[in-house]
A = this chain, B = another copy of it.
Amino acid sequence: MQAENTARASQSKKRTRIQIENEERILDAALDVFSSYGFRGATVDQIAEAAGMSKPNLLYYFRRKQDIYIAVLSRTLENWLTPLGDLDPDGEPEAEIGRYVGQKLAMSRDKPMESRLFAIEVIQGAPMMMDLLRTDLRAIVEDKAGALAAWIAAGKLAKVEPAHLIFMIWAMTQHYADFDTQIQSVIGSGISGSPDTFADAEQAVTQILFRGILPR
């Protein structure tokens, strides 16, 4: 993403205890605010208040609003790509994809703000993340698409354009985080709030996906 520590920057030698604590508090608060309002809609004052500190103090750690945003995206990106990276081409598709889908659904339940942060950024054209999408994300998708293609060639999966299969998994799982408000409005509860709803979601996703792609 970038030099990561655009913070007190300069050429600071060691990160002090207070620095580490406060930067974390700021990033937690920033995730909350940015995932609710997007970059332009969020204000530094909001983030400062959520982090429980004054605005000048926040700006002492991150000189500019953009630096906070980039730092949050950076920190979140790792968790984001890890599960897909774990997909093992030498494993069996049902087990591997099942584990992946399970992890993604759990992330939608437990870390919905991260999902929404990326969603807003991407929907708005990924002005800050474009480079990463074209490099890191593209690379890992191409890599794992190869694994899917091999499974298809081996007759272990139905014929689907591999990249699109990955997109569909993202779509189905992340929908429960990103559109939680809508889901709650319609059925009364989201997957974060109700174990029953989570179970229904998991059942629907795996049912459709596995019947859809596993050999009959």
Chain A interface (Cβ within 8 Å of chain B)?
36-41, 116, 119-120, 122-126, 130, 133-134, 137-138, 141-142, 158-161, 163-165, 167-168, 170-172, 174-176, 178-179, 181-183, 185-187, 200-201, 203-205, 207-213, 216
Contacts and interface: CB of A to CB of B under 8 A. Distances in A.
Contacts of A209: 208, 212
A104 to B, nearest CB: 12
Given A38-B38, A38-B40, A164-B201, A126 B208 contact: no
29 contacts: A36-B125, A37-B40, A37-B124, A38-B38, A38-B41, A40-B40, A41-B41, A41-B124, A119-B123, A120-B124, A122-B179, A122-B181, A123-B123, A125-B181, A126-B181, A133-B182, A133-B186, A137-B186, A158-B207, A160-B204, A160-B207, A163-B187, A164-B201, A168-B205, A168-B208, A170-B175, A171-B174, A175-B175, A207-B213
